[in-house]
Structures are given as structure tokens and as C-alpha cells.
Structure 1
Amino acid sequence: MTLLPLGVLLLAAISPVFSEAAANNTFRPGEELRKYRRIRAHVKRLNKPPVKTIQSPDGDLIDCVLSHLQPAFDHPRLKGLKPLDPPERPRGHNPAGTITDDSFQLWRTSGESCPDGTVAIKRTKEEDILRASSVKRFGRKPAVRTRHDSESSGHEHAVGYVVGDQYYGAKASLNVWAPKVSSPDEFSLSQIWLISGTFGSDLNTIEAGWQVSPQLYGDTSPRFFTYWTSDAYQATGCYNLLCSGFIQTNNMIAIGAAISPVSAYSGGQYDLSLLVWKDPDHGNWWLELGTGVLLGYWPSFLFTHLSEHASMVQFGGEIVNTQPLGLHTSTEMGSGHYAGEGFGKASYFRSLQVVDWDNSLIPVPNLRVLADHPNCYDIHGGINRVWGNYFYYGGPGRSHRCS
């Protein structure tokens, strides 16, 4: 977006806002000007001065920012600090995944990377914020619950989960797809959730995986993402690095950037391995990708319940159903195909593990599976010698089975 001087009415820069307002006969120049100033100020806060900028083939700009200047260190409790050294990994950890290095993102295809001492951050643009419902809600999920949600929430899941113990981390491998999302207000994602608190105002979550979200990213590419909240998605937390929270330590991966390649129906399957675990010494929650690539950590002080441990772990898919025209959405989950189609056609999670009190990875005990709307998105689990605990999940949304 081209930024015009504030004295030139800003018509070109915020034409989407003005056009909509004019169409509704609610054009208020002063109000729109204040909104635009808020957007510019927010973009300036998020985009730190880069040492280097890399142009991605999909149009993203990846800024290489000095690690101690990243957005996390705007937090009052982090000002003046630097990222911590990595902790000891959980016992029994064997890095795995067919995405075997840190060049699985589109912006790395040119061979460029960020220099040592910096972190790779996807630049936020004004149009990104204009797609959000407000500047305040930019980068946040709607205030929703996860599992046990009411049917009217619009969020639908197909998940495997464990509950009833104390969990200090989780690990799984999941294959990456590019599901169709039928409305800009909807998304489709596959992720790991670490959850504590009650499904109300004090819910704590840590989340990581891949998602397609046209509203957040402006396209339909699957992107690697993180999320956290300490108050059930109300006022705390955000995606990726769009607020002070997650501290990135990696200069080769940009959280929020597009993943390439992705799995193909009856073709090649590409999966990534994710590990989230709690550092026994400092209590921070660390994130590792693929074959031992550390991305960074969520400081323990961000949370209330998760400052101790998780009480539930979930693996699986989630979509938003806005019920266009009063019908179920045709937004796909996973590959867009039902679990029964199996390998190469359905989405999967495999090698499900949790971290116990002794910082050891163990197979998921007593895995349960649940699909909120099994006619639309279903799930089937199992266990075998090669994959350990696993499940297939997903579906097409609106179809002859789902209406």
C-alpha cells in the first residue's frame, strides 16, 4: 500500500475503508483519519528496523531484526533483556519429520537467510490490519473456547486429546496441506494445543501448527504459526510475533511465512514435527521444529495456569464455520477428505507423545478422539509399530453428508 502524506486526505491509502463508508452513507473523515493514524502507529510498533530485508516469491517481506529488538522485548518485564540459551531437551527425544531442515518456507527458496544475531520476522503491512475487525483485534483469534465448545460458536474441531494428568509438553508429526477456505472470515488449521485453566475467562493455551487464514495473511497459502492466550482469547495473546510474547531465537524460520512444498492427494506427503516442552529450570515453554531446529520460547510469566503445567493436550484440526447463506461452510479441514481415505489422501497426526513430570517423552496414554460434526469433518485413531499413536482426520465441509 502506498502511504500518502496525512494532509492529502489519505484517499488512496485507505480507499477500502472510505469506499465502504461512502456506500453506507457513514463517511466520517475525522474518524477515518484517526483510524488510519492508529494503523500506522501499530505497524511502526510491530516492524522493527531491519538489518536486512528479503523479498519472498509470494510478496512477503522478511525483515532480519536484531534479536534483542524483536517485539517480545517491548514487554515491560523483558525490556533490556536478551533471549535465553536453549534448555535441555526432553529425554527420549528423537527429532524426525520429512521436512528435514529449516528451508521449508517459500522465502528461503532463493537461498538467502538472515545473519547471525538476528531473527527473521514477516513484515506487517497496513492492508493486513485493514482486513481485521479492528486494530485492537488484529493478530488475535475471536474470543472462543477450544474443545467442549457450544455448537453455536462457529468453531468446529476434529481432535485427539488427553486429559486428567499433568503435562509438561507434547510432540507430534503432522502432514501439511492447502485446504480450501471459502470465506475471508474463516480459517482452517492443524495444530497442537497445550491447555490449562477452565473453558471460560481464565483459559491458558499454547498453540503451534499450520493454518490457512485469508483474513490474517491476505492469501490462501498454508503458513506456519504460533499462538498463545492466558484469558480465553479475550485480551491477551496473539498469533506469531504480533504482540509482546513469544521470544524467537531462530534466524532461518519466519513464523507466519508460507510453507512449501505441501502434500498432494495421492502424491508426495510432507509433514513437520513439532515439540513444545517446559524447561524444568526456568519454566519457559520452548518450541522445536523438524530435526532439532529451535524456534524460541514463551516466557512462563505470560501465563497463570500454564506457569505450572498443562492439564490437557489436543492434537488435530479446527475450522471456522460462518454458515454462509444459512448453510454449513465448504471450508475444508486438513486435506479436505475424510479420515477413512487413509494415507496419501487424508490428513494425519502421528507419533503422538507427551512430556511427563520427569522431562521425559512418553507415548500418549489413553488417547481419545472427538469430532464436533463428524458428518462434516471426522477422525479415526489407531496405534502401530511404526507410527505409534496416530489418527487420520478432516473433511470437505458442506457435502452430501454435511449440510
Structure 2
Amino acid sequence: MVSCCCKIPIFVFVFLLLLVISSSICAAHSSETGNSQANNQTFRPEEELKKLKLVRERLNKINKPALKTIQSPDGDIIDCVLLRHQPAFDHPKLKGKKPLDPPERPNGHNRKGMAAEDFQMWMMSGESCPEGTIPIRRTTEEDMLRASSVASFGKKPTRLVRRDSSSDGHEHAVGYVSGDEYYGAKANINVWAPRVSNQYEFSLSQLWVISGSFGDDLNTIEAGWQVSPELYGDYYPRFFTYWTSDAYQATGCYNLLCSGFVQTNNRIAIGAAISPTSSYGGGQFDISLLVWKDPKHGNWWLEFGSGILVGYWPSILFTHLRDRASMVQFGGEIVNSSPGGSHTSTEMGSGHFAGEGFGKASYFRNLQVVDWDNNLIPLPNLKVLADHPNCYDIQGGINTVWGNYFYYGGPGRNVNCP
């Protein structure tokens, strides 16, 4: 028998042993890493699925069954929804109610020359919603996923809205009256398409009807136009409404994104894009808005133009505004997110300062309030305020053609607004 004994040098043996051990450790580490990655991959879809489920539940509440659907040239989908099926009647205090008949207009309101209703892009389709329905801009998953959370979708950030404070990034140029009892407000508002720097900012021009303190009990009714890429996914100016009864905390929303505002008009879609808009040195386009408290039932109605009723905010939504307003405010507001540590270049109004005047600066004209006896009257003691006048400013005036008016706005970041 022949035997063969092969001796392996000790250093080779040690090397091979270390190699085996190293391979085992790497394999184990690889297995653990793979398991960790797999766990992460299964964790994230669960979170996404949970969010998507919440989104779809919310969409089912907002988007009501449509009798007819209209495709707008700007990409919006407009659903014609039965009056009684609109989101307002999901509110516990409004369930089973029917839309009210038109109220008495304020005394002194001129309804001659009814305004054209085709001031929105969706009307360019040539389609309209049938009688007994209202047009509602359909909310999409993409709309909701742009919001910071499903719960915050359609709401303004929780904040105090003192005219003289902008520590929260909100900056204003406004005209206002306070210190009396007010039952409505009216104005013609110049419409532009201001540049908004990023998705987290907006630019708007509106009127506010306000009551309560600037604390947790603030009540507001708001209407005007806004450019808000986060809310709408584009940079078109859009007709909007808002309300809150607790300083933007739990109550209220934009447009028809929650129960509250009762729409009665079948030709105006709240939240839809406005067309035409004003151009610098060219044609000027403004919209007329009137908000007033119906003396008979106490609800706050919204009228567009010279007689087109949009709908109303039921008085039961409010605490202080159930009785009257203590302040009326008109003007522009932007959000400054201070990109890169500098002031935003988001524009207010036309993006030009008040001093440039007609055709270049944005304006509010024919400013009026409604008194206790349902009379439209000129503004007593209009005050104007810009909290960052080097960025956005305001200049008031009065004449026989425009009544009380002001020019306002600005470009944001410039050599004097760093």
C-alpha cells in the first residue's frame, strides 16, 4: 500500500482559514443587509398604501356622482353634480336641507348690465351644466398628494392673520375698515397671473369679512382669485372662496373641498381658472364680488358680477359671523418661504408697485360695505397698510368714477427687498 502524506505549510493553512471565516461573515452580513432592505421595501409600500387609502376615502367624500362631465381646455375635469348631492349637505347641521331661494339684494346695488358668466376656461369648451346641477372641479389623487398631509388638504395653514404680522411668512398689502358693524363688502378686483416662485407659495387677491379676535375664535369669509401651485397643480389664477370659524384650525376650507358653502349657480365653478387676465400696458380685466348677510335668514351670500348669485355660507357655520362682521379687508397676500435665505420673488398682483398706476399696477376699485339696514355705502375711513413696503406696497385714493380704490402689489425680491 502506498500512502501519500501532503503537508500544508502553516501560513497557507491560516490564510485559507481566515478566507473561509471572512466569506462566512460576508455572507451573513449580506443576508442581514438583504433582509433589512427587504424589510424596508415592505415597510414603505405599507405606508404608501395606507396613505393612498386615506386619499381615496377623502376623494370619495369630495367628488360626488356626476350627471355630466366636462373636459376643460386647461386640463380640469368639471363634474355636473345634483344640487342636493353637493358637499355642503354632508355637514351635520345641513343634512336633509335644500338650497335657499335668492335673498333681497342690498339697497343701492346696481344690477344693470349683467356680467358675462363665461369668465372661466372650462366654459370655452362650449359645454355647460344642466339646470338643477352645479359645476364642481374634480379633485384628483395628484391634487391631494401635493398637500403636506391628507388632513391639511384644502386648508390654509394654521396661523393668526394679524394685518401687522408676517412672522409666519405671510405678507400683505391691504385696505381695511374696522371699529363698526359690517354686514357685507363689495369690490372690483383686477385679475392678473403673478409669478409664484415655488410650489409651497401662493399669491392671492381677495376680500375678507372678519369677526372675532385674532385668536382661536376668528371667523372669516373670503373670496377672490389666487395662484396656488400646491392646491391646483398649475399657475393659473383661479376664482376661490374660503371660510373658517376657528382661525383656520379645524373648520373651513377652500372652495367646495369640505362641507359648508352651499352653491346655487350652475355656470360658475369655484376653483376653476379665470380667463382672460390683465396684461401689463394692455387690456385690463376685473371681477366684481359682493358678499352680504341676508337680513331675513342671516346667511352670507356671494354674488359675482352684476347679479349672478354663486351661493351662500349658512350662518350656522359661524359663531361671531352669525351676527355681524367687525372688520372688512381688501387686498393682496403672498407666502414668502425665503428660498435660499432670501426674500421670495413671488409677485403680488401684477408684480409691479402701486406707483406705476393704471394698466401696470393691480387695483381694487368701487370699495363698499353693507350697513345694518342692508345699504351699500362707501368705505368710511379706509386705512391702507403694507407690512413689507419695499417688497409690496399700496396707495389709496378716491374719485367720482372709481369711488374708494387703491393700487397695490410688487415684485418681491429686488435691490430694496433683499
TM-score bracket, shorter-length normalisation: over 0.9
Q: Which moved more, 1:129-138 or 1:25-34?
A: 25-34
Aligned equivalent of 1:273, options 288, 301, 305: 288
Q: Is the CA contact (8 Å cut-off) linking 2:115 and 2:308 kept in structure 1?
A: no
1:96: Cα distance to partner? 7.5
Match of 1:331 in 2: 346
Q: Is the CA contact (8 Å cut-off) linking 2:71 and 2:125 kept in structure 1?
A: no
Q: Is the CA contact (8 Å cut-off) linking 2:219 and 2:321 kept in structure 1?
A: yes
Match of 1:54 in 2: 70
Q: Is the CA contact (8 Å cut-off) linking 2:117 and 2:268 kept in structure 1?
A: yes
Q: Is the CA contact (8 Å cut-off) linking 1:96 and 1:273 kept in structure 2?
A: no
Normalised TM-score (structure 1): 0.92
Q: Is the CA contact (8 Å cut-off) linking 1:96 and 1:290 kept in structure 2?
A: no
Match of 2:206 in 1: 191
Aligned equivalent of 1:287, options 268, 290, 302: 302
User: How far apart in 2 are the matches of 1:91 and 1:299?
Assistant: 22
1:122: Cα distance to partner? 0.3
- CA distance 1:153–1:361, shift in 2 (3 Å): same
Aligned equivalent of 2:220, options 195, 205, 210: 205
Deviations 1:129-169 (A, max 9, x none): 00001111000000122233533110000000000000000
Match of 1:78 in 2: 94
Match of 1:398 in 2: 413
Mapping 1:81-96, distance limit 5 Å: 81-95=97-111
- CA distance 1:366–1:26, shift in 2 (3 Å): farther
Normalised TM-score (structure 2): 0.89
More helix by share: 2
1:358: Cα distance to partner? 0.1
Q: Partner amino acid for 1:354?
A: V
User: How far apart in 2 are the matches of 1:151 and 1:393?
Assistant: 17
User: How far apart in 2 are the matches of 1:396 and 1:149?
Assistant: 20
- Residue aligned with 1:216, SS: helix
- CA distance 1:27–1:181, shift in 2 (3 Å): farther
Match of 2:277 in 1: 262
- Residue aligned with 1:301, SS: helix
Mapping 1:104-183, distance limit 5 Å: 104-183=119-198
Alignment size in residue pairs: 380
Structure label with greater radius of gyration: 2
User: How far apart in 1 are the matches of 2:263 and 2:47?
Assistant: 36
Task: Indicate yes or no: 2:390 matched with 1:375.
Answer: yes
| Unaligned 5+ runs, structure 1 | 1-21
- Residue aligned with 1:132, SS: coil
| Unaligned 5+ runs, structure 2 | 1-37
User: How far apart in 1 are the matches of 2:238 and 2:162?
Assistant: 23
- Residue aligned with 1:37, SS: helix
Task: Indicate yes or no: 2:310 matched with 1:302.
Answer: no
- Residue aligned with 2:231, SS: helix
Task: Indicate yes or no: 2:112 matched with 1:102.
Answer: no
- Residue aligned with 1:152, SS: coil
Q: Partner amino acid for 1:56?
A: S
Q: Partner amino acid for 1:295?
A: V
- Residue aligned with 1:239, SS: coil
Deviations 1:97-122 (A, max 9, x none): 9x921110000012211000000100
Q: Partner amino acid for 2:139?
A: T
Match of 1:12 in 2: none
Q: Is the CA contact (8 Å cut-off) linking 1:162 and 1:364 kept in structure 2?
A: yes
Aligned equivalent of 2:58, options 42, 45, 56: 42
